[in-house]
């Protein structure tokens, strides 16, 4: 549960939020050259701090033969060794924080959506900045007139970044409007029906489960005007379901993580994602860590957190391409056309070719009568497709259409199930799971 706060605590928290908002508003007005100068200056400072004070980076830098003086300009960025999820997962806390740290910090664990959770320390200031960025985006989405009747569905695990954000959010939002995604779906559905919110912030998998429950009850939510989805990729099947159950809601996404905070947000005028360049340095690299204009791994450097520096981190596991064309909205921030998915969910043919999960989901997600599905790969060339049909009589037809849609390229094992649950210890219900080792 989120703790209640005294009036003095709320006033002090309000000051923190206003200070962070002032900074975010100022940064939003920066020109691209000023943003780049800020990125470079902050990068150099973080690299020097990591080199001098953080044991994990002292080992990584020594192993790579790297010293901060090697960073003369942007072309030298690839000299900085990549940080992996495994590096963070295997490090003890004393490896991740300066011995003489004096900042207020919170220890946070990632959700493990790539299969491997990791722990880092974040400064309170970086969390207030994260909160301020999301608040500023919310005002944009509402065209300067924020919706007050909101509902927030949050991972309430105490070491999650979303619990930390919810704790800060409780400064301005009643605790009755902040619900745990670990509550039973039936309870969340009842609360949503009771509140009838104008605005909902949730994970796609959580709201998908609620929408399926509402559809079973033949209920729709016409009052909801805006839905913010984060932390997971919104697949087309879930998007279609949400537009049916929330017919008047605009769907907006942000790309966030425990390690990187706010990385990107969806443009309101175009099908692309703008990089939050005052928060992160974002790279797209090939398998060797070198820049690529094609499909590559997203690598981030967090510019807001000095507790556990996140420098050239490849552990998000996502793949994307740069969007080279200017955006109609006028933003000069770099952007990516779309996020192809997590490398941990990439599928493999019998011949060893890597296939985006969206090739599979786009082929089957519009099959009539299918309430929910999940694709699991345990062997190359073989896909297990778990389905939940709207009625038992529709199962044979759904199976037939899946086989027809995916053709002869895959060996299919189709199973009708009563429930598709989240993995142990997670609230997320992944649409595609690969249990194969990642390609080198």
In 3D space, the residue among 152, 139, 168 whose CA is nearest the CA of residue 14 turns out to be 168
Which residues make beta-bridge pairs with 227? 200, 251
Domain boundary among 277, 308, 343: 343
Tokens encoding 371: 């309430």
Indicate the average pLDDT of the chain: 88
Distance CA 245, CA 226 (A): 13
Instruction: Give the number of other CB atoms < 10 A from CB of residue 248.
Output: 13
94-98, 238-242, 325-329, 427-431: least confident range = 427-431
Looking at residue 258, what DSSP letter applies? T
Q: Longest Cα pair distance anywhere in the chain, in angstroms? A: 68
**Domain membership flag for residue 439:** no
Highest mean pLDDT among 11-15, 111-115, 158-162, 419-423: 158-162
For residue 160, what pLDDT is reported?
85
Q: With 90 as the cut, is the pLDDT of residue 173 above it?
A: no
Half-sphere exposure at residue 430, Cβ-oriented, CA atoms within 13 angstroms: 22
For residue 439, what pLDDT is reported?
46
Q: Average pLDDT, stretch 210-229?
A: 94
Do 23 and 126 share a structural domain? Answer: yes
For residue 421, what pLDDT is reported?
79
Do 393 and 273 share a structural domain? Answer: no
Tokens encoding 440: 């080198």
Residue 328 domain boundaries: 1-343
* Whole-Å CA distances, 80 to 55, 66, 73, 76, 309: 16, 7, 12, 8, 13
Query: What CATH code is carried by the domain that includes residue 271?
Result: 3.40.50.12780
Distance CA 219, CA 209 (A): 14
For residue 440, what pLDDT is reported?
34
Do 367 and 261 share a structural domain? Answer: no
Do 242 and 100 share a structural domain? Answer: yes
Number of domains comprising the chain? 2
**Domain membership flag for residue 440:** no
Distance CA 430, CA 395 (A): 22
Question: How do residues 85-144 score in pLDDT, each as one tens digit?
Answer: 889 989 999 999 999 999 999 999 876 544 456 899 999 999 999 999 999 999 999 998
For residue 413, what pLDDT is reported?
92
In 3D space, the residue among 307, 301, 339 whose CA is nearest the CA of residue 323 turns out to be 339
Query: What CATH code is carried by the domain that includes residue 371?
Result: 3.30.300.30
Distance CA 395, CA 391 (A): 7
Question: How do residues 8-19 score in pLDDT, each as one tens digit?
Answer: 766 777 788 899
Do 261 and 150 share a structural domain? Answer: yes
Q: Average pLDDT, stretch 433-439?
A: 72
Distance of CA 362 to the CA centre of its chain: 21
Do 127 and 115 share a structural domain? Answer: yes
Do 387 and 304 share a structural domain? Answer: no
pLDDT > 90: percent of the chain: 57
Tokens encoding 214: 């509402």
Do 353 and 305 share a structural domain? Answer: no
For residue 409, what pLDDT is reported?
80
**Domain membership flag for residue 51:** yes
Do 6 and 21 share a structural domain? Answer: yes
**Domain membership flag for residue 179:** yes
Which residues make beta-bridge pairs with 396? none
Pairing of strands 226-230, 250-257: parallel
Do 166 and 92 share a structural domain? Answer: yes
Domain boundary among 321, 343, 365: 343
**Domain membership flag for residue 292:** yes
Question: How do residues 222-269 score in pLDDT, each as one tens digit?
Answer: 999 999 998 877 877 788 889 999 999 999 999 999 999 999 999 988
**Domain membership flag for residue 204:** yes
Do 111 and 54 share a structural domain? Answer: yes
Distance CA 35, CA 333 (A): 9
Do 368 and 219 share a structural domain? Answer: no
Q: Average pLDDT, stretch 149-154?
A: 94
**Domain membership flag for residue 421:** yes
Q: With 80 as the cut, is the pLDDT of residue 310 above it?
A: yes
Q: With 50 as the cut, is the pLDDT of residue 402 above it?
A: yes
Question: How do residues 28-65 score in pLDDT, each as one tens digit?
Answer: 999 999 999 999 999 999 999 999 999 999 999 999 99
Domain boundary among 326, 343, 360: 343
On whether the CB atoms of residues 248 and 260 are closer than 8 A, the answer is no
pTM, two decimal places = 0.81
**Domain membership flag for residue 97:** yes
């Amino acid at each position: 549960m989120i703790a209640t706060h005294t009036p003095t605590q709320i006033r002090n928290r309000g000051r923190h939020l206003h200070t962070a908002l002032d900074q975010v508003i100022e940064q939003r007005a920066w020109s691209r050259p000023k943003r780049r100068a800020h990125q470079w200056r902050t990068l150099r400072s973080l690299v020097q701090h990591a080199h001098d004070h953080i044991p994990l980076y002292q080992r990584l830098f020594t192993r790579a033969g790297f010293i901060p003086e090697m960073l003369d300009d942007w072309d030298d960025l690839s000299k900085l060794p990549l940080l992996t999820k495994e590096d963070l997962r295997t490090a003890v806390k004393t490896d991740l924080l300066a011995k003489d740290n004096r900042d207020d910090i919170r220890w946070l664990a990632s959700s493990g959506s790539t299969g491997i959770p990791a722990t880092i320390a974040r400064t309170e200031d970086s969390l207030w900045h994260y909160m301020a960025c999301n608040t500023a985006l919310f005002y944009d989405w509402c065209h300067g007139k924020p919706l007050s009747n909101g509902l927030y569905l949050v991972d309430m695990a105490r070491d999650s970044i979303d619990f930390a954000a919810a704790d800060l959010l409780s400064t301005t939002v009643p605790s009755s409007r902040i619900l745990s995604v670990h509550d039973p779906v039936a309870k969340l559905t009842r609360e949503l029906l009771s509140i009838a919110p104008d605005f909902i912030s949730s994970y796609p998998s959580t709201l998908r489960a609620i929408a399926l429950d509402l559809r079973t009850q033949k209920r729709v939510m016409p009052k909801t005007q805006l839905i913010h989805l984060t932390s997971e990729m919104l697949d087309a099947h879930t998007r279609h379901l949400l537009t049916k159950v929330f017919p008047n809601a605009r769907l907006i996404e942000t790309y966030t993580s425990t390690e990187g905070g706010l990385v990107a947000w969806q443009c309101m005028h175009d099908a692309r994602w703008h990089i939050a360049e005052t928060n992160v340095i974002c790279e797209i690299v090939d398998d060797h860590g070198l820049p690529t204009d094609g499909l590559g791994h997203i690598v981030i450097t967090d510019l807001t957190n000095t507790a556990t520096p996140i420098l050239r981190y490849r552990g998000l596991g996502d793949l994307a391409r740069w969007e080279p064309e200017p955006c109609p909205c006028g933003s000069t921030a770099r952007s990516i056309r779309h996020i192809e998915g997590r490398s941990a969910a990439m599928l493999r043919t019998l011949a060893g070719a890597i296939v985006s999960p969206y090739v599979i989901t786009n082929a089957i997600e519009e099959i009539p009568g299918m309430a929910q599905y999940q694709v699991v790969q345990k062997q190359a060339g073989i896909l297990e497709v778990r389905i939940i049909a709207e009625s038992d009589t529709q199962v044979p037809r759904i199976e037939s259409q899946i086989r027809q849609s995916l053709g002869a390229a895959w060996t299919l094992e189709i199973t009708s199930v009563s429930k598709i649950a989240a993995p142990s210890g997670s609230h997320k219900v992944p649409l595609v799971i690969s249990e194969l080792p990642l390609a080198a």
